[in-house]
Amino acid sequence: MTQAGLLLGAYLVGSISFGYLIVWMLQGRDIRDVGSGNAGATNVLRATGMGPAIAVLLLDVAKGAVPVLLAIELDAETPVVAGTAVAAVLGHVFPIYLRFRGGKGVATALGAATALAFWPTVVGVAVVLLVISWTRYVSLGSIVGVTLVPVLMLLWSADEWYAGSAATIALLVIARHVGNIKRLRAGTERRLGERVEITR
């Protein structure tokens, strides 16, 4: 029951949409009705500015890391620890509190992966930052990062359950970026720093 509770708790914590809450408190609007329609930090940056975006980023990272760290602290079985990482990202992407319409899971995935395997994730983040600084496409950096991290985990001899968890999260995040991939190919993807207007 405790281990099932960890998985459920990870999902419920992941379901807390800080992007939605912060933009609603500041502007009284639904972030999902602004710009790209995503509830993550990048859309918050475009719509409201740097301060709220940094707050959303840090909180989304934390809600990925905390459930995993708690499972480790409670000596949960390795598959359960790995499962909490996936559950937290699933919560962000499909939040029960917002009728399962959430974000793309990148920051929450970062928090979960950092808790699972710190150094492989740090290297992955460094690559992500290089890609974003070179191209100014956050989506491209995110896709590269989530793809790279499980590979780095295996090269670092991390637990196979953890690497499998990271790979599962990568598939989920990439699936959420299908629209971005199409826009990247078409040359219409928004670059970092572009502000947006309400779309609906």
Give the 3-state DSSP-derived string for 28-60, with helices as H, strands as E and coil as C.
Answer: CCCHHHECCCCCCHHHHHHHHCHHHHHHHHHHH
Domain membership of residue 199 (yes or no) is no
Domain membership of residue 33 (yes or no) is yes
Sign of the alpha-carbon torsion through 83, 139, 66, 113: positive
Domain membership of residue 72 (yes or no) is yes
**pLDDT confidence of residue 87:** 98
Mean pLDDT, residues 24-53 taken together = 85
Tell how far CA 174 is from the center of its chain: 11
Distance, in Å, from the CA atom of 98 to the CA atom of 80, rounded to the nearest integer, reads: 26
Q: pTM of the full predicted structure?
A: 0.90
Domain membership of residue 191 (yes or no) is no
Mean pLDDT, residues 39-63 taken together = 90
Lowest mean pLDDT among 18-22, 76-80, 187-191: 187-191
Q: How confident is the model at residue 195 (pLDDT cuts 50, 70, 90)?
A: low
Domain membership of residue 45 (yes or no) is yes
Domain membership of residue 111 (yes or no) is yes
**Residue scoring higher pLDDT (91 or 195):** 91
CB 97 within 8 A of CB 20: no
**Residue scoring higher pLDDT (193 or 77):** 77
**pLDDT confidence of residue 199:** 44
Coil, helix or strand at residue 198: strand
Residue 34, strand partner residues? 198
Q: Which tokens in the block code for residue 102?
A: 């959430």
**pLDDT confidence of residue 32:** 85
What total number of domains does the chain contain?
Answer: 1
Q: How confident is the model at residue 193 (pLDDT cuts 50, 70, 90)?
A: low
pLDDT tens sequence across 114-141: 999 999 999 999 999 999 999 999 899 9
CB 132 within 8 A of CB 126: no
Domain membership of residue 196 (yes or no) is no
What torsion do the CA atoms of 61, 63, 66, 72 make, to the nearest 10 degrees? -90
pLDDT tens sequence across 66-117: 999 999 999 999 999 999 999 999 999 999 998 898 889 999 999 999 999 9
Query: DSSP assignment, residue 96?
Result: G
Domain membership of residue 198 (yes or no) is no
pLDDT tens sequence across 125-183: 999 999 999 999 989 999 999 999 999 999 998 899 999 999 999 999 999 999 999 99
Asked whether residue 200 carries a pLDDT value surpassing 60, the answer given is: no
| Residue type, position 161, single letter | W
Q: How confident is the model at residue 198 (pLDDT cuts 50, 70, 90)?
A: very low
Q: How far is CA 51 from CA 65, 190, 193, in A?
A: 21, 20, 13
Q: How many Å from the N-terminal Cα to the C-terminal Cα in the chain?
A: 43
Q: Which tokens in the block code for residue 78?
A: 């390795």
The residue written with tokens 């090269």 in the block is 155
Q: Which domain holds residue 98?
A: 2-186
Asked whether residue 36 carries a pLDDT value surpassing 80, the answer given is: no
Coil, helix or strand at residue 15: coil
Q: Give per-residue burial for 137-152: e unless 16+ CB within 10 Å, then b.
A: bbbbbbbbbbbbbbeb
Backbone φ and ψ for 111, nearest 5 degrees, come out as: -60, -45
